[in-house]
């Protein structure tokens, strides 16, 4: 796996990788992470992948982090952990 870029953003750490014919978009916030795989056949360049990371995509991912955190906490609570 080859790291292509760190993409600065105030709400999440975003890293772009190339691996096995795919671009991997990794978003991290705290102990949570989301990874999206984009086939190199679906885009023409790394710039196209960066274009996917628009404000709407990032806002949805940040909202998903909030739901993930809620789901994890709910599981801890259900099992008194």
pLDDT at 69: 98
Q: Tokens 């989301």 correspond to what residue?
A: 34
Please give the sequence-ordered ranges of beta strands (E in DSSP) within 1-81, or none if there are none: 2-7, 13-19, 22-29, 32-39
pLDDT at 67: 98
Cα 20 to Cα 30: distance, rounded to the nearest angstrom? 27
Tell me 79's DSSP state: T
Query: What does pTM read for this prediction?
Result: 0.92
pLDDT at 37: 98
pLDDT at 51: 97
Q: Where are the domains of the chain?
A: 2-78
pLDDT at 45: 93
Q: Give 31-58 pLDDT, tens digit per residue.
A: 999 999 999 999 999 999 999 999 999 9
pLDDT at 24: 98
């Amino acid at each position: 796996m080859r790291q292509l870029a760190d993409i600065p953003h105030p709400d999440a750490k975003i890293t772009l990788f190339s691996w096995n014919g795919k671009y991997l978009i990794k978003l991290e916030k705290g102990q949570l992470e989301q990874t999206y795989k984009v086939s190199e056949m679906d885009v023409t360049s790394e710039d196209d992948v960066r274009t996917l990371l628009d404000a709407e995509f990032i806002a949805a991912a940040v909202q998903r982090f909030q739901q993930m955190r809620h789901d994890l906490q709910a599981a801890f609570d259900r099992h008194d952990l």
